Amino acid sequence: MKYRLILLLIPIFLFSETFNSYYTMVEKGNYEYIRQNLPELKRNHPNDPDVLFLSGLVETDGELAINIFTDFQKKYPKHDKADNAFIKIIEHDYTRGLYNKSIKNCSKFVKLYPGSESIENCINVMINSYHAVEKSDSAHFFYEKYIKLIPHLNLTYSNSQYKPNLEVIEKKDVRQDFVSYKNQSPVKYRDNSKYKFSLQFGAFTSPTNAMYLRDKLKAKGYNAYTKKIEGKNGPLVSVRVGYFENRKIATNVGKEIKKKEKLDFMIIKTN
């Protein structure tokens, strides 16, 4: 009986190890192998929550990925990946300007997953959402509350008179090679006219929102910066990444970032 139980547990252990290896691949950006094996995983394990979560991670359509994460979080709220799914939903809503929805879900997140590694991101979204809807008193209240409860948090809000540091980069002599679009210092070139394109991931009326997305991208290692632009209804602050020699290179890099970060982009001609 003892040996029979061990034999029954072996497939479960092996399946668990397989998913650990898949999650490691996701962390390293190796999505294609998982996509190739996903149909077989779905056939063999149609009701397994890890299969559902994994399908969301490798989905190339951002909206469809969010639908998958929403479905996952509702079906498996106590799964060890549920907080990861929920924070992706919250961040997606925030970047779409759904601030009140973000506030509501952030409050829910803190109650459901107080020990989550994403708690810092969640509280930052909550505070910046309050600020975006011009509720500075609430932003300040929750900043003070959570900084006392969790002193090690790195929150982007400092006080009720908070002013974002935009660090707008508009120097004409600074360009970055497409090969080193991540986590590299800008390089000066003699012929700057050939670096004509940049990737834009959003344009906001609120500088706070632009700063949040910029900092999120910079934290992932991208050469993100903000730039003031004129919109149809007034000034905006855009969030951009890198400088590229041609549209094809910019498109390839944009697609890679979209896959990893689930963010839509547009290509901007800078010269």
Query: What is the pTM (predicted TM-score) of this model?
Result: 0.57
| Residue 213, pLDDT score | 85
Report CA Rg, the chain. 21
Is 241 among the domain residues?
yes
Cα(132)–Cα(266) distance, integer angstroms: 24
The runs of H, that is alpha helices, within 45-172 are 49-58, 62-75, 82-95, 99-112, 119-132, 136-149
At 211, which amino acid appears? M
- Domains: count for the chain: 1
> Side-chain half-sphere of 57: how many Cα atoms within 13 Å?
26
CA-wise closest residue to 142 among 113, 94, 99, 103: 103
Is 128 among the domain residues?
no
At 72, which amino acid appears? F
Is 97 among the domain residues?
no
Is 260 among the domain residues?
yes
Q: What is the residue-level pLDDT of the chain in tens, covering all 271 positions?
A: 544 444 343 344 334 556 677 777 777 777 788 888 888 888 888 889 998 998 888 887 778 888 999 999 999 999 999 999 999 899 888 877 788 999 999 999 999 999 898 898 899 889 888 887 888 888 889 988 888 888 777 776 644 344 443 333 333 333 333 333 444 333 333 344 566 889 999 888 777 778 888 888 887 778 888 888 887 777 888 899 988 888 888 888 888 888 888 888 888 887 6
| Residue 168, pLDDT score | 35
Any idea of the CA torsion for 264, 258, 118, 75, to the nearest 10 degrees? 80
CATH number of 201's domain: 3.30.70.1070
| Residue 6, pLDDT score | 41
| Residue 3, pLDDT score | 45
Is 29 among the domain residues?
no
Is 242 among the domain residues?
yes
Find out whether 236 and 204 touch, Cβ atoms under 8 Å: yes
CA-wise closest residue to 269 among 201, 196, 171: 196
Is 109 among the domain residues?
no
- The dihedral of CA 63, 69, 75, 77: what is its sign? negative
The H or E element that residue 41 is part of is helix 32-44
Cα(201)–Cα(209) distance, integer angstroms: 12
Is 18 among the domain residues?
no
Cα(125)–Cα(207) distance, integer angstroms: 14
What residue numbers bound the domain in which 185 lies?
178-269
